A and B are shown apart, each in its own frame.
Chain A
């Protein structure tokens, strides 16, 4: 089994994906710390980290740009960061506002969009496409050339792949100006619909109300000026995701549903011509005995470990359940490995007692992921 260090050789951008609750954020942070320990200058972009993890990474202060994590935090836990570790938490709304500002042809357009009533009301929903803002931020950071490696933790959406569609969806959104053209009764609108514009407008009014239409139309007109720049940006983002130095790492737990999502994820990546660098299975129950089924465990525990009969029975009962889970995990992981194919390296991380949420926990996880001493 290879370690993450080998998987990420020659990698500039590592996108960590998987379904919710499998430990993506923690894994992303541990990967970034491990690569920083190996001498790289690494930035990790996290999305909504747990409070204690945020504290461990020094992410309590506000800001939408990476800042350097003090090496002492990790040194105290036994990991020497020979390179540099930077971290940030994504602020989707701010990232989107910044993108609008950046793409606006002039200051006036920028101010008018940011002040637009519809934009303000809907900007949460727009920024809610964290999927897009995350990759937009990634692209922005990649452009600076300041880091050897960027690690992106993807949003906790149920369908972990939403962010692959996000550029398209956002482009479609900007193209809502088609509606604006339509409202003006222009030829393009007529061609789009192929029916009488008057009829369609009448219908739209019946289902949406006139004011909403005109407000939205203003909004789309303002955004229309940004469309060219936005499309270009979306294309660059896609190109970055397909670049040879970009690798996706799939994180899953050994349970059936996250594994199904992981398989789906792989299929989608392949269709999108993006590179799957490997899969990480977190929280695998230790399978010490394999398919061995110890006979009369309570007696053995009493004899060999000197446990009282009652305690021996209890331990045996716990072991039976945990062993069954270990067998289930082993079977699920084997099935995953087979479905992913031999070309996809698969790493297993044992179930660690308790949550990983501080520097010490990250260092433990780092050791499991990299499989060799950090420095």
Chain B
């Protein structure tokens, strides 16, 4: 199914620590290579995209990472709120944004943070941008929070629309919700590690996404897959050799090969669980033995994710 390049909004989510940011960035690079004006939006308050590219960044600021192709923004709730108020009410909106009581109200109202964040992401994906001096993007890739929080954020517009019933928030919430539910505009990509918990969470995400938004998962990316360099029969040979060997270096080498083989085999079982599921076939990214994920690794990952576009 993928065809992510034809969407406007791609949410990348998954359990904590699985490499969502890495996958979001690699997808962004792939999209930009294809000539799409792309922005990677980080929602965690960090600016890892900008850091990776050595670009300066400020909260809520759109920065170009690579010519006019790839951009990044670290979405900032305060900034998003100011933009929204300004757009709705101009100068007087600015006054409201400056009022302390209003800030207390906004930050205390449950779900408001999620609503403003998702509203900003939606704004990035509009043909007619509402923020002065900005241009539209072909594709917005969202480095979304971990699964539970991501689903909460995706549901926030409808929740608020239902509470408000009428008026501007209801109107806006409904418009955002319609975009999120439209499979022609929005896709959700799950990232997992080939381990028990992240796989279980991915399988659950597929169900929960359908319940929450009526959307199907567009793709499942499995990160950090070890190569299968030693087969089961070879592993037996190595285990026998380890029993006999007494050289320290030889023992260390045999042990590390057996350990990697055991972990790779366990990973296969977990990938098989994903493959057996009715959802999208898992796309594997290799374990990066490099000390840190930098531009070279990201470039390689981008190439491997190319097919999802």
Contact = CB atoms under 8 A, between A and B. Distances in A.
Nearest to A22: B17
A357 interface: yes
Interface in A289-314: 289, 292, 294, 297, 300-301, 304-307, 311, 314
B257 A176 contact: no
B15 A286 contact: no
Interface stretch (B29-37, B132-140, B165-173, B296-304): B165-173
Contacts of B89: 203, 206-207
A311 B234 contact: yes
Given A176-B109, A207-B93, A212 B249 contact: no
A21 interface: yes
Interface string B151-170: 01001100110111111111
Interface in A106-128: 117-118, 121-126, 128
Contacts of B110: 122-123, 125-126, 128-129, 173
A178 B100 CA distance: 11
Contacts of A328: 291
Interface in A1-26: 19-22
Interface string A262-299: 00000000000000000000000010110010100100
Given A122-B163, A169-B108, A207-B168, A297 B18 contact: no
Contacts of A374: none
A297 B101 contact: no
Given A200-B99, A319-B256, A173 B146 contact: no
B5 to A, nearest CB: 28
A159 B164 contact: no
Interface in B38-74: 44-45
B156 A125 contact: yes
B262 interface: yes
B111 A208 contact: no
Given A211-B164, A322-B259, A355 B196 contact: yes
Contacts of A215: 163
A204 interface: yes
Contacts of B12: none
B109 A19 contact: no
A20 to B, nearest CB: 2
B216 to A, nearest CB: 23
Interface string B105-142: 10111110010000000000000000000000000000
A129 B155 CA distance: 16
B195 interface: yes
Interface stretch (B178-186, B236-244, B276-284): B236-244
B196 A300 contact: no
B147 to A, nearest CB: 9
A215 B149 CA distance: 25
A100 B111 CA distance: 18
Contacts of B255: 286, 288
Interface stretch (A81-89, A142-150, A189-197, A363-371): A189-197
Contact of B238 (A169, A315, A324, A325): A315
B17 A258 contact: yes
B16 A158 contact: yes
Interface string A9-51: 0000000000111100000000000000000000000001011
Contact of A121 (B93, B146, B163, B250): B163
Contacts of A52: 196
A50 B148 CA distance: 15
A78 interface: no
A261 B242 CA distance: 39
Given A156-B146, A176-B104, A355-B266, A319 B253 contact: yes
B245 interface: yes
Contact of B164 (A179, A206, A209): A209
Contact of A318 (B109, B146, B260, B266): B260
A256 B19 CA distance: 13
B254 interface: yes
Interface residues of A, number: 83
A61 to B, nearest CB: 19
Interface string B1-19: 0000000000000011110
Interface in B91-105: 92-93, 95-96, 99-102, 104-105
A351 to B, nearest CB: 7
A182 B92 contact: no
B193 interface: yes
B200 A286 contact: no
A214 B44 CA distance: 32
A122 B253 CA distance: 56
B16 A182 contact: no
A317 interface: yes
Contacts of A258: 17
B85 interface: yes
A30 to B, nearest CB: 15
24 contacts: A50-B200, A51-B196, A118-B163, A125-B110, A128-B149, A156-B146, A157-B149, A158-B44, A159-B45, A173-B108, A176-B108, A199-B92, A200-B102, A206-B89, A212-B164, A256-B292, A258-B17, A292-B249, A297-B253, A304-B250, A307-B241, A318-B229, A354-B266, A355-B197
Interface of B: 15-18, 44-45, 84-85, 88-89, 92-93, 95-96, 99-102, 104-105, 107-111, 114, 145-146, 148-149, 152, 155-156, 159-160, 162-170, 193, 195-198, 200, 229-230, 234, 237-238, 241-242, 244-245, 247-257, 259-260, 262-263, 266, 289, 291-292
Given A193-B100, A294-B249, A355-B266, 4 more contacts: A122-B109, A126-B110, A193-B101, A311-B238
Shortest Cβ-Cβ A-B pairs, 6 listed: A20-B16, A209-B167, A21-B17, A125-B111, A125-B110, A212-B164
